[in-house]
A and B are shown apart, each in its own frame.
Chain A
Amino acid sequence: MANVLVFIDNQSPTLKKSSLELLTIARTLGEPVAAFNGEFNDDVAAALSSYGVTAVYRPGSADLDDYLVAPKAAYLAEAVAATGAGTVLIENSSDGKEIAARLGIKLGAGVVTDVVGVEADGGAHKSVLAGSYKTVCRATTPVSILTVKANSVTPEPAPTATTPESVTIEVPAAATANAARITGRSNKATSGRPDLLDARIVVAGGRGVDGDFGPVEELADALGAAVGASRAATDAGWISHDAQVGQTGKTVSPELYISAGISGAVQQKAGMQTAKVIVAINNDAESPVFEIADFGIVGDLFEVLPQATAEIKKRKG
């Protein structure tokens, strides 16, 4: 069976769920091998073997994280050559897409981004034009590179665990010569709420909250939800840019998206219209958000949200 190379760029002590998803997809396409960067400990080794990885390739130098993407692409090019892989799977983060981009040029390989599903023959499913078309795309080159969105499949360990062999890949010295360096890093404050990208429920506020995210946050907390926002709300500084949903913010696909005081511009819809259930609260009945709402309330969010929050608390006791 052909090798499928999964790039795992691990910045934490355990493997991310998205990495396990990539390994799960890899097994449907061939024999999974991993190119690993980051802290390699016993937990990581155990996870890779339970997901059926047959070989783990690790970089000979440890400073890949000091640079922006370019040396990681050089390392992966070497790993593809060593494994003879026909498919490379990478996470669909901004770094992941750019590593794929540069790797594609190095290998003469086609890159498909924003993939949500892969068929056994390599056909990759993705939405284009802000979600208005569903497409099947493929690389027409000997090697194909796919960047796969998180939450595309349910991670599943292999039926039988493996004992992967470990191989060191030397990163070409030239790889860092003309690369942009990361010279400083500061962590962002965490909110204590679920992560927007993984959350089952998102409650989002827009210009209609008029500076006060209180009612949105209280409903979110009653539902155990993440808080999202339109660009109008983040631009106004009412909430961090990290909360922005849409074309230039995050793309979310929760089970429930509650939109409050958001008009539903095309750039906002681009980030949320694949939610399973959409609820909209807006005091303007003509607002385009109602065109995509499963349940719409024409009303004042300052009345509706607190009433709903109180009712949820009452029912939950």
Chain B
Amino acid sequence: MEETLKIIVLVKHVPDAQLDRHLNGADYTTDRAESILSELDEYALEAALQLTEAQGGKGAGHQVIALSMGPAGAANAIKKSLQIGATEGVHLKDDALAGSDAAATSLALAATVRYLSAGSPVDLILTGMASTDGETSLVPAQLAERLGLPQVTFASELEISAGRITARRDSDTHYDTIEAPLPAVVSVTDQINEPRFPNFKGIIAAKRKTIITLSLADIGVNPAEVGLSGSWTAVQNAEPRPPRTAGTIITDEGDAGIQLVDFLAAQKLL
């Protein structure tokens, strides 16, 4: 039996890690000027596409909704998700959201998920293992807690059947098999798949897909509950890490291995 799936994929627009990244202003908020779709969220999107493809693919009426909370530029992360294969996009955008920590972000995202569930229930919320800027991995667990849903996190394999999800989760010492009923919040690692690139057909098709923009008023969230004022943590001080002092670089002329051991001995590391 094939079911029609309604999947929300959480995609974040983050500063490009290949460039220098900065914290700005009195509250040390992240500079989002040169941002991209968080690479780790591409694995979640790919997982969503593979799940729908395993159940009849395009003609089957599955929904893969790319949801991003962020300033105007976040629309680019959603656009890229549509080019890769998401069927629709949702952009939660409101000036009051700036500076939200994980607690405030999960509050706003939970309200958006409820809003998007109003017509028909959501089966699955897929996320990345961590945002490449916040790097906390808090949002998926907090979203699950706020929505009262089971959380299946750090999945490196994923399967759904008969309204249940089965995942493999790796820890340092063991592999676990995790099972939960749907709907569930599921985060995936970069081991789960090989994300596809947008192709020409996808780029053309994305032009016909819609991005719905929602404000806090639309989802019924009080602006005081989010942003800096609604956050439960604050950055009190931030200093760029001093660059490492330049080291000694030698070119091997046949005895570099010996010189390496001399260096280690001098540093008392042998």
Contact = CB atoms under 8 A, between A and B. Distances in A.
B257 A310 contact: yes
A298 B233 contact: no
A307 interface: yes
A33 B261 CA distance: 47
A68 B260 contact: no
A304 B257 contact: yes
Contacts of B250: 295-298
Interface stretch (B49-57, B67-75, B142-150): B142-150
Contact of B263 (A127, A132, A247, A295): A295
Contact of A129 (B23, B148, B191): B23
B248 A110 contact: no
A165 interface: no
B234 interface: yes
Q: Is the interface of B mostly helix, strand, loop or mixed?
A: mixed
Interface string A182-208: 111111100000000100010000000
Contact of A307 (B153, B257, B267): B257
B151 interface: yes
Given A293-B247, A299-B252, A180 B151 contact: yes
A97 B179 contact: no
Contacts of B129: 248
A73 B172 CA distance: 21
Nearest to B136: A113
A231 B191 CA distance: 10
A137 B140 CA distance: 21
Contact of B133 (A111, A129, A188, A300): A129
B26 interface: no
B142 A104 contact: yes
B110 to A, nearest CB: 9
Contacts of A102: 141-142, 144-145, 151
Given A135-B238, A295-B260, A299-B252, A130 B153 contact: no
B244 A308 contact: no
A68 B151 contact: yes
Interface string A222-240: 0100000001000000000
Nearest to A178: B150
Chain A, interface size category, equals 35 or more
B179 A180 contact: yes
B136 to A, nearest CB: 5
Contacts of A101: 102, 137-139, 141-142, 145
Contacts of B234: 137-138, 140
Nearest to B244: A292
A114 B58 CA distance: 41
A141 B135 contact: no
Interface in A18-75: 68-70, 73
Nearest to A265: B18
Nearest to A255: B269
Contacts of A184: 176-177
Contacts of B255: 307
A296 B137 contact: no
Nearest to B245: A294
Interface in B6-38: 15, 17-18, 20-21, 23, 28, 30
Contacts of B30: 129
B137 A188 contact: no
B172 A197 contact: yes
B189 interface: yes
A109 B178 contact: no
Contacts of B256: 281, 297, 299, 303-304, 307
Interface centre among B189, B190, B233, B267 (most CB of A within 10 A): B233
Nearest to A113: B136
Given A69-B153, A95-B171, A188-B172, 18 more contacts: A110-B232, A130-B17, A130-B135, A133-B238, A136-B238, A138-B233, A140-B233, A182-B176, A182-B177, A185-B174, A248-B40, A256-B264, A279-B260, A298-B252, A304-B252, A306-B257, A307-B257, A312-B264
10 contacts: A101-B142, A102-B141, A134-B238, A136-B236, A247-B17, A277-B269, A281-B260, A297-B250, A297-B256, A304-B252
The 5 closest A-B pairs by CB, nearest first: A307-B257, A299-B252, A110-B232, A184-B177, A101-B141
Interface of B: 15, 17-18, 20-21, 23, 28, 30, 40, 101-103, 106, 129, 132-133, 135-142, 144-146, 148-154, 166, 169-181, 184, 189-191, 231-241, 244, 247-252, 255-261, 263-265, 267, 269-270
